[in-house]
Amino acid sequence: MRFSGLRVLAEALTGHKGWAPLWRNPDPKPAYDYVIIGGGGHGLATAYYLARTFRQARISVLEKGWLGSGNVGRNTTIIRSNYLLPGNQPFYEFSMKLWEGLEQELNFNAMVSQRGVLNLCHSDAQRDAFRRRGNAMRMSGADAELLDVSAVRKMAPFLNFDNARFPIKGGLLQRRGGTARHDGVAWGYARGADMAGVDLIQNCEVTGFFIEKGRVRGVETSRGYISAGKVGVAVAGNTSRVMGMAGLRMPIESHALQAFVTEGLKPVIPGVITFGAGHFYISQSDKGGLVFGGDIEGYASYAQRGNLPVMEDVVEGGMALMPMLGRARLLRAWGGVVDMSMDGSPIIDRTPIEGLYLNGGWCYGGFKATPASGYAFAHLLANDSPHPTARAFRLDRFERGYMIDEKGAGAAPHLH
């Protein structure tokens, strides 16, 4: 069924009788050519591109809960391509281009909204680093602008310019950055994949791999054994657990990340703003809630929740940057488990087990990567070769010394 304004109008007049399920609830078949583990944003996008773009068939997505129940359903919805390193930036710019055509591609309004991402800087050294990054962005074909303090003031007059511990000295702006409706992205890909014939199987938890002579043959699940030609794992937060079933140890730690939303408010801020001297970034959803977040909790966790100190730290940053926030109220805080990789960058690669492919290690930045991650992983699964923009995301890069460390924090996942 095609969605359109006309269709909405027609259904409104006829009592919404005609809307079909967004996707089927198929039972798992005994065998597939491709089994994607993980019905989150990346898994669903992978299945979609595998079926639509790479023309593969007999594909299933196995999800232990409900579609989109992982980090795609619990993030701060930011999209951007403002990276420094050549291993990252072209990939995220590719993702941005996919975002820009996503709704027409999926016939689903995921509310991709390019209202701009502004990173504030507070010292000369930070501005130099931003200039280096902005130039890397421009050289990759992305947009970037370096703002001085008066330009920042014009864009966001409500920021704390006058009584700040760390005065705002300027900012790096990506106008094409912005936000997207996170659940909508998952649903759009799910619906698209389903329409392309992919079996989306919910409440189906993978409990083991069947590996024979170094090759994966299928997966054990809570709904029975499913044999598979190739298995793609896209289970951010649980990568170590799932890959552990295949006997592989990962360069990943699981950490908890909190995010927050306020009660609905009339429009306050237009785009995304990040505070370069505190742990705070913020945007406003179309519904009116201020969506904000900060650093990960900083200790290994699978608990999908955080504690007060980080919440206080994040809000302190918010109050320091935007003192008008004091009378807004926090409505909800939630926590997700993220795959913190050893250099802060993801992995999209083959594994030592033939037929087993990995997509993980997204740290706290996986949402913006969703389209390109799905595309690149589908490319890898279909062609057995990495997508040109994802070549650096190798699993063996740590052993060989080709880390992609944007922050320069080293092999300390809790610091990325």
Partner 1 sequence: MLIPHPLLGPRDAQEFTYLGDAKLLDRPDGMAPGAAEAFFEYLYLRDNRAGVHEELWFHEQGDRAILLVTRDTTTHEILGAVLARDAVLSRTGDGT
Partner 2 sequence: MSRLDGGLIDRSRTLSFTFDGRRYVGHPGDTLASALLANGVRLMGRSFKYHRPRGVLTAGSEEPSALVELRSGARREPNTKATVTELYDGLDAMSQNRWPSLKFDALGVNDFVSPLFAAGFYYKTFMWPKAFWEKLYEPAIRRAAGLGRLSMEPDPDSYDKGFLHCDLLVIGAGAAGLVAALTAARTGKRVILADEDFRLGGRLLSESHTLGDAPATDWLAGREAELSSLPNLRIMRRTTVFGAYDHGIYGAVERVGDHAPDASNGVRQTLWRITARRTIMATGATERHIPFANNDRPGIMLAGALRAYANRWAACPAGRVAIFTNNDDGHRTASDLAAKGVEIAGVIDTRADAQPLGDYPVFPGAVVTGSKGRLGLNSVEITQEGRTQTLTCGALGVSGGWNPNLQLASHHRGRPVWSEEKLAFLPGEGGPRGLVPAGAANGEGSTGGALSSGARAAQAVLADLGVDAAMPELPEAEDTPIKQSAFWYVPGTARAWVDFQNDVTVKDIALAHQENMRPVEHLKRWTTLGMATDQGKTSNVTALAIMAELTGRSIPETGTTIFRPPYTPVSLGVLGGGDTGAEFRPLRLTPTHEWAKARGAPFTEVGPWMRAQYFPRPGETHWRDSVDREVLATRAGVGICDVTTLGKVDVQGADALEFVNRLYCNGFKTLKVGMVRYGLMLREDGIAMDDGTCARLAEDHLVVTTTTSQAGPVYRHMEFARQCLWPDLDVQLISTTDAWAQLSVAGPHARRLLERVVDGVDISNDACPFMSCRELTVCGGLRARLFRISFSGELAYELAVPARYGGALMDRLVTLGEDLGATPYGTEALSVLRIEKGHAAGNELNGQTTAQMLGMGRMVSNKKDSIGAVLSRREGLCADRRTLVGLQAMDAGAKVTAGAHLLSDGAEERTEMDEGWISSACHSPHLGVGIGLGFLEDGARRMGEVITAANPLEGQSTRLRVVSPHFIDPDGGRVRD
Residues engaged in binding partner 1 (CB under 8 A): 238, 240-241, 244, 249-254, 298-303, 307, 309, 342, 398-399, 411-414
Q: How far is the CB of 358 from partner 2 (least distance, A)?
A: 20
- Determine the Cα–Cα distance for residues 237 and 35; give it in Å rounded to an integer: 19
Chain positions 255 to 274 lying near partner 2, rule: CB under 8 A, are: 262-268
Residues from 142 through 201 that contact partner 2 (CB under 8 A): 144-146, 158, 160, 163-167, 181, 183-184, 187-188
Q: Cβ neighbours of residue 311 under 8 Å, at least 6 residues apart?
A: 258, 260, 333
Smallest separation (angstroms) from partner 1 to the CB of 339: 9
- In the bound state with partner 2, the residue whose beta carbon lies nearer, of 6 and 55, is 6
What's the CA gap between 327 and 177, in Å, rounded?
Answer: 28
Q: Is the dihedral of CA 184, 187, 188, 189 positive or negative?
A: positive
What number of residues does the chain have? 416
Any idea which residue has 């639509």 for tokens? 52
- 87-126: which residues touch partner 2 (CB under 8 A)? 89-90, 101, 103-104, 107-115, 122-125
Q: DSSP character for 127?
A: H
**And the tokens for 413?**
């996942």
Min CB(152)–partner 2 separation in Å: 15
Nearest to 323 by CA among 150, 165, 149: 165
Q: Quick one: what does residue 123 bind among partner 2, partner 1, none, with the CB cut-off 5 to 8 Å set by partner type?
A: partner 2
Q: Which is nearer to partner 1, 388 or 410 (CB)?
A: 410
Assess contact for 389 and 113: CB atoms under 8 A: no
Residue 303 Cβ vs partner 1, minimum distance, rounded to whole Å:
6
Cα dist from 233 to 21, 78, 408, whole Å: 27, 24, 28
Bridge partners (DSSP) of residue 403 are none
CB 145 within 8 A of CB 176: no
- Does 302 contact partner 2 by CB under 8 A? no
Sites for partner 2 among residues 367-386 (CB under 8 A): none
Minimum CB–partner distance for residue 90 and partner 2 (Å): 6
Q: How many chain residues interact with partner 2 (CB under 8 A)?
A: 122
Is 241 one of the binding residues for partner 2 (CB under 8 A)?
Answer: no
Q: How far is the CB of 236 from partner 1 (least distance, A)?
A: 13
* Count of Cβ atoms closer than 10 Å to residue 394 Cβ: 18
What is the dihedral angle through the alpha carbons of 96, 102, 103, 106, rounded to the nearest 10 degrees?
Answer: -160
Choose the stretch contacting partner 2; rule: CB under 8 A; options: 31-39, 50-58, 208-216, 408-416.
408-416
**Residues 318-357: x/- map of binding to partner 2 (CB under 8 A)?**
xxx--xxxxxxxxxxxx-----------------------
Q: Least CB distance from residue 292 to partner 2, whole Å?
A: 9
